[in-house]
Amino acid sequence: MELTVRQMDAEEFQRQRQEVLGQWETGKDVNFEEAVAYHKGLPKSKIFAEKLAEGKEKGITFAQPRAGVALITEHIELLRCLQDEGGADFLPTTIDSYTRQNRYTEAQSGIEESRTIGRSMLNGFPAVNHGVAACRQVAESVQVPVQVRHGTPDARLLAEITIAGGFTDFEGGGISYNIPYSKDVSIESTIKYWQYVDRLIGLYEEQGVKINREPFGPLTGTLVPPAISHAVAVIEGILAVAQGVRSLTLGYGQCGNLIQDVAALHTLPVLAEEYMEKLGYPKAMITTVFHQWMGGFPQDEAKAFGVISWGAATAALGKATKVIVKTPHEALGIPTKEANAAGIRATKQVLSMLKDQTLPMTEELALEEQMILAETRTILDRVLSLGEGDIAVGTVRAFQAGVIDVPFAPSRFNAGKILPARDTTGAVRMLDFGNLPFDETIKDFHRERIAQRGRDEGRDPSFQMVIDDIYAIGKGMLVGRPR
List the binding residues for L-glutamate: 66, 100, 149-150, 171, 177, 181
124 three-state secondary structure? coil
Where are the strands (E) in 242-325, listed by range? 247-253, 285-291, 322-324
Q: Please pick, among 17, 100, 213, 397, the residue that the annotation labels catalytic.
A: 100
* Residue 375 is among the residues annotated as catalytic for this protein: no
Residues 232/219, Cβ–Cβ less than 8 Å: yes
DSSP of 374-406: HHHHHHHHHHHHHTTT-HHHHHHHHHHHTSS--
State the DSSP H helix or E strand holding residue 428, giving kind and residue range, or none if neither: strand 428-432
Which residues are documented as binding site for adenosylcob(III)alamin?
68, 123, 180, 297, 326, 330, 334
Which residues are documented as binding site?
66, 68, 100, 123, 149-150, 171, 177, 180-181, 297, 326, 330, 334
- In whole angstroms, how far apart are CA 88 and each of 64, 65, 348, 414? 6, 7, 9, 36
Residue 225 dihedral angles phi and psi, to the nearest 5°: -60, 140
| CA distance linking residue 355 with residue 8, whole number of Å | 42
Question: What is the pairing mode between strands 322-324 and 419-422?
Answer: unpaired
Q: Please pick, among 50, 160, 171, 369, the residue that the annotation labels catalytic.
A: 171
| CA distance linking residue 371 with residue 253, whole number of Å | 18
169 three-state secondary structure? strand
Question: Half-sphere exposure of residue 430, counting CA atoms within 13 Å on the CB side?
Answer: 24
Residue 116: CB atoms within 10 A of its CB come to 9
| CA distance linking residue 194 with residue 173, whole number of Å | 6
* Residue 369 is among the residues annotated as catalytic for this protein: no
| Residue 7 DSSP label | P
Angle at 475 between CA 471 and CA 479, to 5 degrees: 60
| CA distance linking residue 482 with residue 319, whole number of Å | 34
Residues annotated as catalytic (active site), given as ranges: 100, 171
